Amino acid sequence: MSEQTPFSPDLTDTEIESISASVKRLTDKVQAIAEAVKNLTQNRVQLEGKIEGAQKRIQHILSRLPEQSDGRQLNLLGETIPPTNVEDDSEPTTH
């Protein structure tokens, strides 16, 4: 029975250089992938923060909405809006 070794002891210099070049390329690709994963993770954290902020703003707006039974005008910006009188909106009539 013979043992298999990963590298044959009678490899030529050209074969060793070829293997070294392949290992270098793979190492570079792994480093590029690791960097891309790191960047994607940072982007995800930033986006999660933005989503959380947007959800808080939406919740704040929703908390300011009047109840459905409330007939007042909706004021989400907190500005004072004078009440409108339906009778004032009509054109004056002259008879």
| 33 within a domain of the structure (yes/no) | yes
| pLDDT (tens digit per residue) in 37-68 | 999 999 999 999 999 999 999 999 988 887 76
| 5 within a domain of the structure (yes/no) | no
Domain count, the chain: 1
Could you give the 3-state DSSP secondary structure of residue 90? coil
**Residues 6 or more apart in contact with residue 76 via CB below 8 angstroms:** 61, 64, 65
Domain span at residue 27 reads: 13-65
pTM metric for this prediction: 0.49
| 82 within a domain of the structure (yes/no) | no
**Residues 6 or more apart in contact with residue 78 via CB below 8 angstroms:** 64
| 57 within a domain of the structure (yes/no) | yes
- C-alpha–C-alpha distance, residues 46 and 41, integer Å: 9
| 20 within a domain of the structure (yes/no) | yes
